[in-house]
Amino acid sequence: MSNHEPIRVVLADDHQVVRHGIRQLLIESGIEVVAEAQDGEEAIRLIEKHQPDVAVLDIRMPYYSGIEVARRIRGKNLAIGLLILTAFDDEPFILTALEAGANGFVLKTAGMEEIVEAIRAVNEGKSVLDPIIVPKLMHAIVASHGPKLPYEPLTDRELEVLLEAAHGLTNKAIGVKLEISDRTVQGHLRRIFEKLNAANRTEAVVIASELGLLEIPMPHETTSG
């Protein structure tokens, strides 16, 4: 997509008033809402039909939850950014959404600018976490590994790769920045996961932060909406 073309979004939420409010917000910000879905089944159909840049999904919807929609879209190998926008901030929801393939998780209480910037970040291939849920996510993951996790030390290069991953860069973007190949980046991440006993990037970043190896990048804070 060229820089002057608007980001195309499919918006899925079972509350019409909520959809209308978010739609107006996005339109005013220059983002195009190509379709709206009121349940998970319709969301999947519209995402497949319109192939948007980003799908904004509520968690609790009829037929399929936003998490199940994310899982099914990822199962179809569609290159679409998936942003969970919800009122629920419980750890199980957060972890399950990320494991299902969501690129971001933002609360509906977030400021308007934060929601718009989250969509733009996901469209650029970055990962987004609402600042409010980061401590909860950290606690949940660390608790599952115990208070003191033994680990094999990371090399300087592995720390560089993990730091860039923590900032939401894709393997390709990390490779360009560090002047290494995508395959090399993938190899570093695989070894990082093994050393930290992590299942994915999110766990690796949180565990590394708990161990004092790096700081979790926090999105800049805005006032709650």
Give a yes or no: residue 50 inside a domain. Answer: yes
Domain boundary among 77, 107, 130: 130
Q: Is 12 strand, coil or helix?
A: strand
Who wins on pLDDT, 124 or 88? 124
95 pLDDT tier (thresholds 50, 70, 90): confident
Residues 19, 108: one domain?
A: yes
Residues 25, 57: one domain?
A: yes
The percentage of residues in the chain with a pLDDT greater than 70, rounded to a whole number, is 83
Determine the average pLDDT of the residues in 170-191: 91
- What 173-178 contacts at long range (C-beta under 8 Å, 24+ apart), as own/partner pairs, is 173/125
106 pLDDT tier (thresholds 50, 70, 90): confident
pLDDT, one tens digit per residue, over 46-74 is 999 999 999 999 988 999 899 899 999 99
Query: 35 lies in which domain range?
Result: 8-130
Residues 37, 70: one domain?
A: yes
Reading the block at residue 152, the tokens are 């094999």
Reading the block at residue 194, the tokens are 């093994």
Residues 114, 13: one domain?
A: yes
Cα dihedral 219, 122, 89, 109 in deg (nearest 10): 70
Residues 147, 117: one domain?
A: no
Residues 121, 28: one domain?
A: yes
Residues 13, 93: one domain?
A: yes
Domain boundary among 130, 156, 178: 130
Q: What is the pLDDT of residue 2?
A: 44
Please say whether the beta carbons of 83 and 55 come within 8 A: yes
Please list, in sequence order, all residues whose beta carbon lies within 8 angstroms of the beta carbon of residue 46, skipping any fewer than 6 positions away.
Answer: 10, 12, 35, 36, 37
CATH number assigned to the domain comprising residue 158: 1.10.10.10
Domain boundary among 79, 107, 130: 130
Q: How many domains does the chain have?
A: 2
pLDDT for 39 beyond 90 = yes
Please say whether the beta carbons of 59 and 65 come within 8 A: yes
Mean pLDDT score across all residues of the chain: 82
Residues 37, 100: one domain?
A: yes
Residues 96, 146: one domain?
A: no
Give a yes or no: residue 215 inside a domain. Answer: no
Give a yes or no: residue 87 inside a domain. Answer: yes
3-state secondary structure 187-212: HHHHHHHHHHCCCCHHHHHHHHHHCC
Residues 16, 97: one domain?
A: yes
Using the Cα atoms of residue 148, residue 149, residue 154 and residue 159 in order, give the sign of their dihedral. Answer: negative
- In 13-23, which positions are buried (b, 16+ CB within 10 angstroms) versus exposed (e)? bbeeeebeebb
Q: What is the pLDDT of residue 168?
A: 77
Give a yes or no: residue 80 inside a domain. Answer: yes
Q: What is the pLDDT of residue 157?
A: 92
Distance CA 89, CA 187 (A): 33
Determine the average pLDDT of the residues in 88-94: 69
Reading the block at residue 56, the tokens are 């904004």
Roughly what angle, to the nearest 10 degrees, separates helices 112-123 and 16-28? 70
Determine the average pLDDT of the residues in 177-182: 92
**Whole-model pTM above 0.85?**
no
φ, ψ of residue 55 to 5 degrees: the values are: -110, 125
